[in-house]
Each structure stands twice: as structure tokens, then as C-alpha cells.
Amino acid sequence: MRAEHAGYACGAALGFLGDLIVGDPRRGHPVAAFGRAAAAVERRLWSDDRGRGALHTALLAGGTAAGATLLTRAVRRSPAASVALTAAATWTVLGGTSLGREARAVGGALAAGDLDVARERLPHLCGRDPQALDGQQMARAVVESVAENTSDAVVGALVWGAVAGVPGLLAFRAVNTLDAMVGHKSPRHRRFGWASARLDDVAGFPGSRLTAALAVLAGPDRRGAWRAWRQDGASHPSPNAGPVEAAFAGALGVRLGGTLAYGGRIEHRPVLNGRTGRPVAASDIERAVRLSRRVSALALAATVTGRLAAGAVRRSRTAGRSK
């Protein structure tokens, strides 16, 4: 048991380092392959029906978890292979480096006054209509996306990896990807994507709270981050994005939320940190990326420590029962 938990810790750290150094490949990413498979299954199963959507979610998320469990069992007798599998899975599911790269690309274009390039790059980060946004609104969208995706693309995966190992890592990424594909409230997916959206809400809950807590701890304004999270986090329509975006807003001293165009819809979201925050500027994108990196590193340390501690408790209980 001790070797298993130590192996996970080593593999998770190597995978995190791999993402930090290499980032996502331009082609052939496993998550992209999963997305293509999910789209193919959707074409076969789609119906304007929650039951069909639940089947779609169960087949893809459950199939991913089952496959990862079989892989884990196949290599459990080899510590080196177990570490390698954990490292590969961790690198596969993390997206922190790509998140920062895309955010900085938009930020650089905004700083140079090139709104056309910024509008061209913004869809790499979020699904908003870039043509409806000015420079300040795009900067706000980027900071919000950095905050939310720090939870979705890094911290949430690390939490479930600590809980369930490689199956937890890959299943979380599968659930999150399905939500991005069918969980939004478009006419086609309002009912079909219901199960994916609800499952993503449940899976994202612990990671989002850890992300918000670490943003308070690592942010330049801890009191502001805590105050915004406490006062405004619950007002957001998303139960998981709200705490994270509010904590980032308070930590950075900016206002997030408000009116946005998303997926062909106009949404009027509550303003986060509106009492003391200022409008987002292009320079805040770099500050948000740096905060995201600090939060991600702390999340790795916290989740690995938690898994090692849980293993130590189990060993202690087992030793106590054997006496």
C-alpha cells in the first residue's frame, strides 16, 4: 500500500512537470480523440431526451473509468509501470500550460491594440461570441476563463486523482469534456446534455472549493479574495464557477461577471467583487495566469500530501487490527 501511494505521488508530480514543460501536443491529444469518440456516439444516440443523454454519459464516462481501472490492474505488479501510467494520465488530463499560453496570446494582442487577433484567439479559451466584445470585455472573459479552467483543467483532476488514482484522473476529464460538448443549454442539448451537466457539477464541486481556497491563500489580496468568495460566490449561475471566479476577482482586485454573449444567448450574470473591484485590464491577464500557476502547484502539493496521509492512516488502522 505504501508503494502504491508513493508511486501515485511520483507519477502525479512527473505528469504535472510534463504539462508544465511540454503542454498539450498540437495534434493527436488523447482528450481530442475522446472528443471525437464522444461525438460519434452522440450521432448514434442523440434524441431530445434526458434518458438518451444519460446513456451517452454513462457509456463514455463509465467506459473511461472502466478502461482506466483495467489498465491500473494490469500494471500494479510493476512499480515503474504504475508510475509511468500515472504520469501519462496526469499529463493527459492537465491543461494548465495550454490555458496560460492561450490566455497570454489574447492578452498580448489586446496590449498591442490588435482586437482582430484577440477576437480570433478568444474562442480557444471560451465559447463566447468575440465579435460582440470590446477589448475590456475580452480581457474580462479571459480572466474568467483562466479562473474557471484552473479548477476544471488542473485542480479538479488532481483532486479525483488523489481520491481514485488513474481512473479518477481520466474519468474526471471525460466528465468535464462531455459537459463542454453537450452540457450547455443549446436547443439541441438542453435535454440530451442534462446528465452530463449535472454529473460535471457533482464532480467539479470539491475541486472548485479547493481552487477558491488556494486562490485566497496564494492571491495578492487574501482578504479581498475571501470577502468576494463569501459574498458573491453563490450568486453565480454555476455552483462551481461562482466560488472560483469570485475568489480570483477578489484576489486580483477586479470585477468579473456581468452581461455576456454565449452560445448564441445573452446572459446577465451577477457582478463578482463589484463593491471594491475595478474593470479588468489587459495587464490583469498575466496576473491571472501567474495566480493560476501558483494555485495549480499548491493543488498538486495538497492532493499528493492528502493521498499519502490517507495511505498512512489506512496502514495504521490495518496494523492496529492485526495486533
Residues of the chain with pLDDT under 50: none
How distant, in Å, are the alpha carbons of 23, 30, 33, 56, 140 from that of 27?
12, 9, 10, 26, 29
Q: Where are the domains of the chain?
A: 2-322
pLDDT at site 296: 98
Q: Are 254 and 143 in contact (CB under 8 A)?
A: yes
Task: Please tell me the pTM assigned to this model.
Answer: 0.93
pLDDT at site 44: 95
pLDDT at site 128: 81
Q: Are 41 and 177 in contact (CB under 8 A)?
A: no
**Residues contacting 314, CB < 8 A, separation 6+:** 1
pLDDT at site 116: 94
